[in-house]
Amino acid sequence: MLTRKQLELLQFIQQRMQESGVPPSFDEMKDALDLKSKSGIHRLITALEERGFLRRLPNRARAIEVIRLPESMTSAPAQRPVQTGEVRRFTPSVVEGGRSKAAPPMRQPMAQAQDESGRAITIPVMGRIAAGTPISAIQNQSHSVTLSPDFLSGGEHYALEVRGDSMIEAGILDGDLVVIKKQDTANTGDIVVALIDDEEATLKRLRRRGSSIALEAANPAYETRVLGPDRVQIQGRLVSLVRRY
């Protein structure tokens, strides 16, 4: 038998895995269960692991796998409603697999996610993006990646290769390909490609602080940068990512 908190945590992890393919962070689990510290989450995960419901994978950030569910969870749990004033955290959908054959370096039109037949769509990879210290981007197309339309939204998309570890607590690792929907606006809480001073690009979570813009890392080792709106241009919003194992 599971305790109420153990069952709530298992439901929350299973729900997040179904929604995005990536387990929640310890902070997200703590907030979801209304616990005061992450030590309580560690104890619950250990108990679920000992009972054969979860498995932790070594040497990988946020690597929790649901092995089985209790009989009471015969259907997917209901989605937790968003409370007034709450910003729902984004965790990207993950597509496992490789990349398509490299294309000659040339600028191509960004792919439209509008294949009504449901066929796979080729997305251009336009260079690298920093999840750490900002670097130059977006560059010319280097190669491409093929995705199911299920992992895209309407509009134009492109991909960038992640360099750095500043977004690991959002499930974004060094070497991942982030799939970006091209747009010049974003909501607070979105993970975006931000161009700073027309020179440097970075992948960060966007927060609005009065008239300023905060670019927030998902790694406590990195500081949040707070900039004037005239210094930041939004070049797209993260919708999913591709991970090579």
Burial class (CB in 10 A: 0-12, 13-18, 19+), 244: exposed
Burial class (CB in 10 A: 0-12, 13-18, 19+), 150: exposed
- Omega before residue 138 within 30° of 0, cis: yes
Find the catalytic residue in 93, 166, 181, 240.
166
Residues 102 and 125: their CA atoms lie apart, in Å, by 10
Residue 8 sits at φ, ψ, to 5 deg, of -60, -40
Q: Given the structure tokens 């993006």, which residue do they identify?
A: 129
Residue 136 annotated in active site: no
According to DSSP, residue 230 is labeled G
CB contact at 8 A, 184 and 224: no
3-state SS assignment for residue 170 = helix
Residue 30 annotated in active site: no
Angle of helix 38-50 versus helix 4-20 axis, rounded to 10? 90
Find the catalytic residue in 25, 142, 181, 204.
204
User: Rounded to 5 degrees, what angle do the CA atoms 84, 20, 37 make?
Assistant: 60
Please identify every residue annotated as catalytic.
166, 204
